[in-house]
Structure 1
Amino acid sequence: MSKTSVVATIGPVSNNPATLSALRQAGMTVARLNGSHGTLDWHAATIQLLRETVPDVPVLLDIPGRKIRTTQLRVEPSFLAGDIVILTTDTSHDGSQKVPVNYDVFHEKLRTGVRVYADDGTLSFIVDRIDGRDVHLRAENAGTLKSRKGINVPEIDLGQHLVTQRDRDMIDFARQHGVDFVGISFVESAAHVEAIRGLIAGNTPQIVAKVENQGGLDHLEEIAQATDIIMIDRGDLSVETSVDHVSLYQKRIIAAARTHGKPVIVATELLHSMIENPLPTKAEISDVTNAVIDGATAVMLSGETAVGKFPVEAVARLRSIVTLAESHQQQRAGNAYAPADLRAATQALATTLPITKVVVLSRTGYAARLVAMAGIPQPIFIVGSDPALARAWQLLPGSVGIHLPALQVGSERASTIALQALWQQGLLDEQDIVLVAQAASDNALSSLNQLHTVQIGQLATEQGWRATVEA
């Protein structure tokens, strides 16, 4: 069982039943939707298709947040170095003369001489002059400015609100359609995370805080403590800080996530060459391998599976690379994790006793995360009564979420009921020695939080279990 999740972005080439099934078979564990592209109707239809085709795959919806982008363009202008390109906050334009952006006071925040980047820094401009709502940019390199591409201005604080109306609308949409995770762009504080959590008002969708600028790096520890999951968006991070430092920042962010016991997703250009080619470069393979060895719990494909020519091959290749990296890693026993609560106890027992599998009973996901992030080598089965949480647990390293509707975590017979269900499903057998973790309270010191071991064959005999007979 692989410890590393593979997140695949679903787009025009992959939102059909045949490709989704093939992606799942190839190793996709999480499906990502980019809320900056496509209409809400498109996303709603794609979520429904995912639920029908690959119902066990959780859905991550990246919402635009404070990220500034070009709008949907009828004409995508091409230009040479030295040409003038006009950005405007007048959204009536279509790209033929001027390119609209989605931030209505963008023109008020800039000044002459400031450098503006687009499309993950591949396009660079200098502000030549500002005329009303129009920002005249002089191109520093040739290229094409496309629809829905990110705009970055690292030199200036653009003064955006923590939560936009678009955020509110997208979170309402995510809740209505049973999305499992929401990705939040340009998170710079725990207050930003808590503002989003207040809008969610529940256990799901879980929050993926995207660290992608200097503000995020400066407040990394508080973000890691507040969020459910961290994503390293290397595209914006390289533009907003320094492209030469991105690998070092990635290591720093992974280390912070591990210290706080939070899953961390590494994103952007992992197998970028596979958008056009059937094989990745050697540098891309090395990049993915080192991310896993450093402690990434998930790796993400973007254009490779959304618009690329080889989406299934990209997932299969990524799954192969991470499996080999895990083999080399030899499970470093979670030595970067802080010695605390259920996590440390689970790690100690799982590595000193002849445990073959670990079963976690979790009500809110607290115990699920603690145990899964303990860095143990055994397969982990996380059981709970919330179907959305059970799906979301697939993102945790080495874990399978199991939904048992009637399970009452914390009750006297909860562990016996869960173990019998897993045994009847063929996930446990008589030879297994299972470590059972149960957390009925989110308080790490609660007496309701328990660890015990079970020999399945002995328990099955004592309880008189019988395998479920197929109809």
Structure 2
Amino acid sequence: MAKTTIVATIGPASDNASTLLALHAAGMTVARLNGSHNNLDWHEATIALIRDTLPGLPILLDIPGRKIRTIQLREEPTFNVGDHLILTTDLSHDGSEKVPVNYDQFHSRLRAGVRIYADDGTLSFVVENVSGKDVRVVAETAGTLKSRKGINVPEIDLGQELVTPRDREMIAFARQAGVDFVGISFVESARHVEAIRSLIGAATPQIVAKVENQGGLDHLDEIARATDVIMIDRGDLSVETSIDHVSIYQKRIIAAAQQYGKPVIVATELLHSMIESPLPTKAEISDVTNSVIDGASAVMLSGETAVGRFPVEAVARLRSIVTLAEIHRHASAPALANAAAAHNDLRAATQALARTLPISKIVVLSRTGYAARLVSMAQIQQPIIAVGNDAALVRAWNLLPGTVGVYLPQVDIASDSAGTLALEALWASAHVTPDDVVLVVLAANNDADASLSFLQTVRVGQLAEQQAWSLAESQEAA
């Protein structure tokens, strides 16, 4: 099984138990919900459905944040090049005469001659004039302006709040609903990440910082240090910066995430043609392959699984592509000690042992998830079992590449006997077998220095014999 995490967006094409089970069987390891679409009642019901159907599956709720969008329209205007449209901050309109947007200061920030993009840059307009709450624009492309589509104005600072009232509402909902991750749009600083973290006020949900504009690129290092996960939203990034540079920016963002040991999700149009076609294009296959070779921890499907005709086929195809890409990456990857990581980094130490000893599995004992995250970023082929005491955190660890989170409340991670007790419970639940040679990893604190951590190799069968483990007794204890 490939280690790269597959994030699938759930929508009208997939919000039922049978499709969720099929998506999981095909390779989905995280479910994403786009908070910009549907209402909170739908999200609440869908979260409950996922929890009932796939209890251990992490859920990522992408909240709208500062992203400007059209609202839900009764009529979605279709236009040709040169046609006039009116965008407005008067929300009483329904699209038949004017198209409302969800930022009340939108009209006050614009002027004649400014270019506006919509729907990930596929639609382009130029402002002709601004009158009251109305922004009259001329279409530079033909198309249809649909409901809840993103609006970008890269040449102007629109002056939005760091944390919007909608953010506060969505964070409160995310906490109440018990999701595992929240995705934050247009993150430009560590201060933005910490403002969201203070709103959350708990270990979960964890933060996925979306890097999708020049501000995010300019402050990439501080964002990577502050966040839990990074997402590369290539749709907005291509509009807000330069579409010709997106692949280069992707490599730069992945490198920053790797430097700080943070998982990175590559998103937007990975298999876009599979919304309508059962097969992807060769260019899409190449794009996914290169994303994995570059070091992506996760790849994400959006419309392909939310509204597409072939959601299960898209996940299965993505799983096949990343599996082949990983084989190439592992065959050609340099040792971490010779790359960016320091020689004594926990990642490098784990990798060195995993590559030189006959280790079949890695068991990480983790309290905060720090050790689990670092080990998952060590570019190893062995499966990782991350053991912890916090059920919500443990479920979130399933997002980490190649990692299965196992909740063992009876094991005191800080105790001297933690390793033995964890292995006995894992043996009882068949997560490890007598034939396994396991590397047990325990980080003493949130420090990457391997000398401050505990790493031990264990032959499970030999330990079971020494400890006289009884399978029936161990299963009962587990």
Q: What TM-score, normalized to structure 2? A: 0.96
- What letter matches 1:198 in structure 2? S
Pairing 1:223–2:228 present? no
Greater Cα shift, 324-333 or 403-412: 324-333
Moved more, 302-311 or 396-405: 396-405
Tell me, yes or no, if the aligned pair for 1:342 and 1:444 is still in contact at 8 Å. Answer: yes
Deviations along 1:254-286, whole A, 9 cap, x unmatched?
111111111010000000000000000010001
Query: Which range is displaced more, 297-306 or 455-464?
Result: 455-464
| CA shift digits 1:376-399 (9 cap, x unpaired) | 221110000111111111111111
* Match in the other structure for 1:360: 364
Question: 2-side partners of 1:377 and 1:343: how far apart?
Answer: 13
CA-CA distance at 1:446 after TM superposition: 9.6
Q: Which residue number in structure 2 is paired with residue 376 of structure 1? A: 380
Structure 2: distance between partners of 1:258 and 1:445: 16
Secondary structure of 1:210's match?
A: strand
Residues 329-350 of structure 1, C-alpha deviations (whole Å, 9 max, x = no match): 2252563442254222222222
Partner of 1:282: 282
Match of 1:407 among 408, 411, 416: 411
Partner of 1:239: 239
CA offset at residue 409 of structure 1? 0.9
Match of 1:119 in 2: 119
C-alpha separation between the residues in 2 aligned to 1:347 and 1:446? 12
Equivalents in 2 of 1:432, 1:448: separation in Å?
Answer: 26
Equivalent position of 1:48 in the other structure: 48
Counterpart in 1 of 2:355? Answer: 351
In structure 2, give the amino acid aligned to 1:372.
S
Displacement of 1:17 after TM fit?
0.5
Whole-angstrom CA distance in 2 between matches of 1:60 and 1:21: 17
Q: Distance in 1 between matches of 2:345 and 2:396?
A: 23
Q: Per-residue displacement from partner, 1:167-216 (whole Å, max 9, x unpaired)? A: 11111111111100100000011111111111111211111110000111
1:322 matched residue in structure 2: 322
Letter in 2 for 1:93: H
Query: Deviations for 1:44-77, whole angstroms, at most 9, x for unmatched residues?
Result: 0000000001112100000000000000111111
Alpha-carbon distance between aligned partners in 2 of 1:143 and 1:342, rounded to the nearest angstrom: 52
Q: 2:390 aligns with which of 386, 390, 393?
A: 386
The answer to which of 21-30 and 250-259 deviates more is: 250-259
Q: Which runs of 5+ in 2 are unaligned?
A: none
Q: Which residue of 1 aligns with 2:467?
A: 463
Counterpart mapping for 1:190-339 below 5 A: 190-330=190-330, 332=333, 335=336, 336-339=339-342
For residue 85 of structure 1, report the CA deviation from its aligned partner: 0.7
Q: Deviations over 1:441-460 (max 9, x none)?
A: 32445987311111111110
1:454 aligns with 2:458: yes
Alignment partners' CA distance in 1, 2:345 and 2:172? 35
Provide the C-alpha distance between the structure 2 equivalents of 1:113 and 1:67, rounded to a whole number of angstroms: 22
Change (3 A) 1:440 1:174: farther
TM-score normalised by length of structure 1: 0.97
Measured in 1, the distance between the counterparts of 2:356 and 2:171 equals: 44
Aligned partner of 1:30 in structure 2 is 30
Code of the residue aligned with 2:76 in structure 1: it is: E
Return closer, same or farther for 1:322/1:407 CA change in 2, 3 Å cut-off.
same
Gaps of 5+ in 1: none
> Are residues 1:96 and 2:66 paired?
no
**Maintained 8 Å contact 1:381/1:402:** yes
Q: Name the CA shift for 1:410/1:165 in 2 (closer, same or farther; >3 Å).
A: same
Q: Distance in 2 between matches of 1:431 and 1:79?
A: 66
The one-letter code of the counterpart of 2:383 is P
CA displacement at 1:360 relative to structure 2: 0.2
Deviation at 1:439, TM superposition (A): 2.5
- The amino acid that maps onto 2:423 is L
Do the aligned residues in 2 keep the contact of 1:363 with 1:439 (CA within 8 Å)?
A: no
CA contact 2:31–2:60 (8 Å) conserved in 1:
yes
Code of the aligned partner of 1:406: Q
